[in-house]
Amino acid sequence: MKVLLLGPPGSGKSTQAQRLSRALSYFQVSTGNLIRAHIQSDTELGRSIKGYNDRGELVPDDVILKIILPNLEPAGRWILDGFPRNEAQARELQAALEKRDISLSRVIALEAPDEDLTARIKGRRQSLATGWTYHVEYDPPPEKRGDLDTGPFVRREDDTPEAVRRQLELYHQEVEPLKAHYEKQGILTAIDARKPIQEVTEDILQALSPARAG
């Protein structure tokens, strides 16, 4: 199974990727986490990405692919989130996967109204230790220091109201059209992300069942 997870900010995309990776023993390939890890480790790719960010420039697609492709093994079971973000990137990803004789098994699109997403993001917290995402009300961070994730748990710098509005605008302009792109390939399933977290997970697992059986 090779799964791609799409969704706007606040839809619970990272949370669902984490839950699915645990439930299915799949490797979660989070573009954001991989980028942060490279920057924090001061790798050559990390320095390159930081340079683009410091100059206010977009990171080229080929640089992003260099980070994520080593984690997309042909024989592996993985869930990719955070890439692609537009149709051009989707084509680049598909070409790179085809060179490795890989095809996506299923694309899951989480959906929710903007007003619900904006309200959710206010309670979002991220662990500095693992990069995992939590919500203060719906999916609280662990309280005991002995748990797997010890934090600290902080609000992301891009979770300001202004940044969230801009993120949603970009999502509708660039990422949302990917649903039609993958629907034409017959591998898209839309999931209502307004439901409780466990119900969303169950809906996704149900959507993946036919592909897993195949």
**pLDDT, tens digit, for every residue of 32-54?**
889 888 998 999 999 999 898 88
For residue 71, being part of any structural domain is answered with yes
For residue 109, being part of any structural domain is answered with yes
For residue 206, being part of any structural domain is answered with yes
Dig out the tokens for 202 from the structure: 């169950």
DSSP-derived letter for residue 171 is: I
For residue 150, being part of any structural domain is answered with no
Q: Considering Cα of 153, then 154, then 155, then 158, what sign does the dihedral take?
A: negative
For residue 122, being part of any structural domain is answered with no
For residue 149, being part of any structural domain is answered with no
Q: Which range of residues forms the domain containing residue 89?
A: 2-113+176-213
Which of the two residues, 128 and 191, has the higher pLDDT score? 191
For residue 121, being part of any structural domain is answered with no
Q: In the prediction, which pLDDT does 135 show?
A: 83
Total domain count, the chain? 1
- Please state at what angle helix 31-41 crosses helix 44-54, rounded to 10 degrees: 100
pLDDT in tens, 161-199: 777 888 889 899 989 999 999 999 999 999 999 999 999
Q: Are 154 and 141 spatial neighbours (Cβ–Cβ below 8 Å)?
A: no
Report the alpha-carbon distance of residue 44 to residue 62 in Å, rounded.
14
Report the CATH number that the domain containing residue 54 is assigned in CATH.
Answer: 3.40.50.300
Residue 158 has pLDDT above 50, yes or no: yes
For residue 161, being part of any structural domain is answered with no
Dig out the tokens for 108 from the structure: 């899951």
Residue 213 has pLDDT above 70, yes or no: no
pLDDT in tens, 98-109: 999 999 999 999
